[in-house]
Structure 1
Amino acid sequence: METIHNRVGEVYEPFKVRFLKRDITALAPDEVLVRVRASALCGSDLHIARGRHPSAPLPVTIGHEFAGDVQAVGSAVKNVAVGRRVTVEPCIVCGTCEACRHGDYGYCEHISFTYRNGDGAMADYVVVKAACVYELPDDLSYETGALIEPLSVATHAVRRAQIQLGETVLILGAGAIGMMTAAMCRRSGAAQVIVADLSDSRLEMALQMGATVAINSGRTDLEQEVARLTGGKGVDKSFECVGRESCFLQAIQTLRRNGTATVVGIYEQPQITFPASRLVTHEIHIQGAQGYCWDFPIAIAAARDLPLEKFITHTFPLEQLQQALDTALDPASNSIKVIVKP
């Protein structure tokens, strides 16, 4: 393989990006070289940009929501060919621990993600393991393909919550993950999907994505409104998609007895306080959801029926990565998904 000169975007100190130069000279037998066509900034990237991601200290090369074309493959790769349009599951697992051997690679003892260990996809090219590569259907664009990763996060959270037909759910946070969670809850049979956020424009989009009720929790007492909507019982399931103590409290206080709260948000301040007696008096369940495990194929199938392109509010060329990051960090931009194109 001829040497490929690659640009890789790195957050080297809070709020500042620079490009590194990498030479790609060879692939391992199980590796695939992907030419990036669209790469999306994620909430994790914003935590990193602020220097507050609990699992990714600076400097970090960013970008793990992406799609592109297969440029080259290693000698042992059989599942994908040069020229194919693909998206990539960006988790890194060992394949040999007990969880991996049982197929539960989401619980790998050594699990990591490309933005925590390795080069990200805010780049011209990225090298990935063949097992993580999924072909895109012809009717999905590169931009939509870049959103399969966050849709897989939402898919994983909804599957973890075991949404049942007719249930009522509350989603705290109308960011991309929150709205995608709303969409997947409706697809899973939830009858009432309540989304709470502080942004009216995001709440309006959440309704377009499948929410049945939108609540601006800056103007309305959320717990009182949920009690009214549920006849005082509370919701069957809640999803915390923000990463703040106040939202965690709302997620558990609005649950019915024996309800389940699923925590998806990343906490920049990981130590929180909550009323532990609620666990006993209401027998509620609290669980987390990180990443994905066999969720990419489900998300790809679902993406064909979801208007994911509505999430894309801004697009920049790769050389304007700093401007792209500034836009995503600026609340006044009303950005939801910022796409970077090499």
Structure 2
Amino acid sequence: MTKMRAVRCFGFGGQHRLVRDQPVPDPGPGEVLVRVDLSGICAADRAMYDGSGPWTLPFPFTPGHEFTGTVVAMGDGAAERHGLAIGDRAVAELNIAYGNDFYRQRGLYHLTDSMDVLGATKDGGWAEYMIYPADALIHKVPEGLSDRAACYTEPLANAIHGVQRANIQFDDVVIVSGAGPIGMGMLQAARLKTPRKLILVNPGAAKRALGLQLGADMAFAPDDPKLDQAVADLTGGRGADVYLEASGQTAAFTRGLELLRKRGTLLVFGVYKQPVAVDLNIFGEFKELNILGGHLAPFTYGTALDLMARGLIDGDACVTHVMPLDAFEEGLTRKPDAGEVQIKVALDPRL
């Protein structure tokens, strides 16, 4: 087979097309060719599709940065370089760092100034086959882990990075804002830190119900006055210790400022389409808050795979819909029905 189907992005704002005669790439030295088994649709992919994202990228490219694949061919030296064999299932980290700049010298490879991104500057997983580059960090999928869970590795790894940044303590009251793929990952990862109470905040009741199954002690809508009362009761009126913001909604950020105690920690992982207007005195004069950002997933892909393989995090519950590659536009624009849980939509090129 020398040709394959692939979704190609020719520009932002609805310029995605399904190409049926895209050449199957040949792996060069150190490279790995995989058959894509499943590839997720991210909020960033939707922002590319509707033209609302903040990025500048080269066109055309194949989107899809959440993927799992089966090794079908390798270039010279790839097997030894990556510890892989034909038939292995594997995921690659989306960011590929180069050089030896300030950030890589300090172990912050996800922040390097010299980087490629699979599904953006290099072709990603919305295709029947894709290349894992020679410089990619590749992780074998543990035996017994489903394709759905393996496909969830990238958002879960992001979530774990955010939870690690927040430095949750045993006696903390922790709030997770947003029940999308990263929010649900944060909820499950934060539960493993054994905080005193774990609260999910999300508008949709169906997702709140699932959040309770996945480890939340309580779940509320953002505007529910019972949320404020519960936090006050748990903390003697002080406010929550940690607020993990994964929704990307500006109102959710400001809600966190209200709910946190003095010297509380607000971890921001959402991607925002609008600026947030806040009184900066809340950060310093009134609460002396710790405001932290979270970005990508350094050193956490392996952790994500391990936690799912051990049954400590349920990745299958977070990939709620699987569609054929040809239905990518439906996947990008799909809205859940009333009462339906939609967390992660994934594309299966084998269908």
Deviation at 1:93, TM superposition (A): 1.4
Percent identity of equivalent pairs:
30
Q: CA deviation at 1:76?
A: 2.1
Match of 2:241 in 1: 236
Q: 1:60 & 1:54 partners in 2: Cα distance?
A: 17
**Is the CA contact (8 Å cut-off) linking 1:6 and 1:125 kept in structure 2?**
yes
Aligned amino acid, residue 3 of structure 2: H
Match of 1:262 in 2: 267
Letter in 2 for 1:68: G
In the alignment, does 2:46 pair up with 1:42? no
**Correspondence 1:323-338 to 2 at 5 A:** 323-327=330-334, 329=335, 334-338=341-345
User: Which residue number corresponds to residue 151 of structure 1?
Assistant: 156
1:128 maps to 2:135: no
8 Å Cα contact 2:12-2:48 kept in structure 1: no
Alignment equivalent of 2:326, drawn from 305, 311, 319: 319
1:237-316 correspondence runs (5 A): 237-269=242-274, 271-280=275-284, 281-304=286-309, 305=311, 306-316=313-323
| 1:5 is aligned to 2:3 | yes
Question: Match of 1:318, as an amino acid?
Answer: L
Q: Distance in 1 between matches of 2:87 and 2:14?
A: 35
Cross-structure match for 1:67: 68
- Partner SS for 2:283: helix
Q: Is the 8 A contact 1:13 1:59 kept in 2?
A: no
| TM alignment of 1:169-248, pairs within 5 A | 169-220=174-225, 222-248=227-253
Q: Does 1:93 align with 2:97?
A: yes
Aligned residues: 338
Decide whether the 8 Å contact of 1:47 with 1:268 is kept in 2.
Answer: no
TM-score, L = length of structure 1: 0.91
SS in 2 for 1:8: strand
Q: Deviations over 1:158-182 (max 9, x none)?
A: 1111112231111111112111101
Structure 1 residues 101 and 27, CA gap change in structure 2 (3 angstroms): farther
TM-score (norm 2): 0.89
> In structure 2, the residue corresponding to 1:87 is in which secondary structure?
strand
Matched residues in 2 for 1:28 and 1:103: separation?
27
- For residues 23-70 of structure 1, give each alpha carbon's deviation from its aligned partner in whole angstroms, at most 9, with x where no partner exists: 245323121111101111112222222211112568663211111101
Contact 1:196 1:214 in 2 (8 A): yes
Aligned counterparts of 2:102 and 2:85: Cα–Cα separation in 1: 31
- The aligned amino acid for 1:34 is V
Name the aligned partner's letter for residue 215 of structure 1: F
| CA RMSD, 1 decimal | 2.1
CA distance in structure 2 between the partners assigned to 1:60 and 1:249 by the alignment: 36
Per mean C-alpha deviation after superposition, the further-off stretch among 98-107 and 256-265 is: 98-107
Q: Which amino acid aligns with 2:112?
A: C
In the alignment, the residues of structure 2 paired with residue 152 and residue 16 of structure 1 have an alpha-carbon distance, to the nearest angstrom, of 29
Aligned to 1:31: 31
Q: Distance in 2 between matches of 1:189 and 1:215?
A: 20
1:192/1:212 contact within 8 Å kept: yes
